[in-house]
Structure 1
Amino acid sequence: MLAWLRSSINTGPDPTSKWQNIQLRNDLMKKEIFFCKAWFRAMKRAIDIYSETQAKKNHENKLKYTVLVGSVESPSCFIDVTDSVIVVGFLDGQLREILTYTFQEAADNRLFLTVAIYREFQGDSDEIVRAVSYIFGEGGNLNMERVEMKPRKSEISISSVDVSHNFTEKPVFGEYDDLIRVERC
């Protein structure tokens, strides 16, 4: 899937280096995990830090909690965990959400990557200049939308793809490495 994402963004700086930076940042920081109620995207900070005990209790009771990977103040990514949906937000060095993966419970009780969104920002600002969204179906259908923000322009394509790599097991508490893989194929 990453190859489609890379090839679909053909303007601006080389996206390959951005992907490598995301993965490198993730690899360097994934040793430590922290827990909280949520990651506040607009303020770029954690809300209500949880102890491991509280987060585990939420996990066991199928209640929402968030995992911060690498650091509380400057995580490489966050994972919003609920009973049937898990959202992974990959952050750049300025804590902007550059890549988002949404996993939903599949018919076989595994998770399936249903949505991937890649964003590019204007310089050091939080202004999004372009985004590419992928919506996957378990049967292999793919809807892709590429959006340029200024001037506003949108391009939509529909195709079929191999989605076998979009499936993953539900995480055991504390074991999130498979969810935070940038490369999905």
Structure 2
Amino acid sequence: MIWTYCERWNRLTETPMSPLTPQDAQARHISGELYTAVASPAEHSSPELRVHIRLETGYAAVIFMDGHGRDSLEYTFSLINESLFLETATYYSYGNSQERGGYADAEYMESYDFTPDGVMEKTVESGGNESSESRQGVDVSSNWESVPNFGAYDALIRRDRA
């Protein structure tokens, strides 16, 4: 993976906003300020995922992108007792749409909200309809991650969390 850094990612232009040097991004990581790490499989290739980190507010997110630069899977974490807890996992589907990045509207969205005590709420939005269900006693042990050191995002960006 090749990592580049910026303050934020522009979903419409699919480009970094306010690029950062690795040293500037590392300083933001240490101070807790927001920064975004963008991963590409090779130099000059389309990004595959983004990691947003803002430790001063206890926030981290991993967004996996599809071949059209659209968000396809998003994990949102909160800092709880010095560890990151996966609070929300959201899957987006765009059907046959060829629209790029932030211009595309998902036709199907499925999200899972978790609490540390094992409550999970599943919400599905499709065709203008929304349904939800809730379960208790869900094993959330795989939802916990250590706060990563700067640049060491491997555990955080695991796609399979079952």
Q: TM-score, normalised by structure 2?
A: 0.89
Is the 1:68–1:75 Cα contact (8 Å) retained in structure 2? Answer: yes
2:129 aligned with 1:153, yes or no? yes
Distance, in Å, in 2 between the alignment partners of 1:92 and 1:143 is 25
Residue 136 (structure 1) shift? 0.2
Corresponding position of 1:136: 114
- Could you say which structure has the higher helix fraction? 1
Correspondence for 1:18? none
Give the distance between the partners of 1:72 and 1:111, measured in 2 at CA: 31
Say whether the 8 Å CA contact 1:46–1:73 is kept in structure 2.
no
1:105 corresponding residue in structure 2: 79
Q: Does 1:75 align with 2:75?
A: no
Between 170-179 and 125-134, report the one with greater CA deviation. Answer: 125-134
**Matches of 2:73 and 2:15, distance apart in 1:** 17
Once superposed, what is the RMSD of the aligned Cα atoms?
1.3
Q: Distance in 2 between matches of 1:55 and 1:162?
A: 34
Q: Within the alignment, does 1:89 sit opposite 2:59 as a pair?
A: no
Gaps in structure 1 of 5+ consecutive residues: 1-30
Work out whether residues 34 and 69 of structure 1, in 8 Å CA contact, stay in contact via their aligned partners in 2.
yes
Equivalent AA in structure 2 for residue 77 of structure 1: L
CA offsets, 1:38-86, max 9 Å, x none? 1112332211111111001111111111000116762100011101100
**Counterparts of 1:1-12 in structure 2 under 5 Å?**
none
Distance 2:16 2:129 in 1: 34
Runs of 4+ with deviation above 3 angstroms = none
- Contiguous gaps of at least 5 residues in structure 2: none
Aligned residues: 152
Match of 1:181 in 2: 158
- Percent of residue pairs bearing the same amino acid type: 27
Q: Which amino acid aligns with 1:130?
A: Y
TM-score (ref. length: structure 1): 0.78
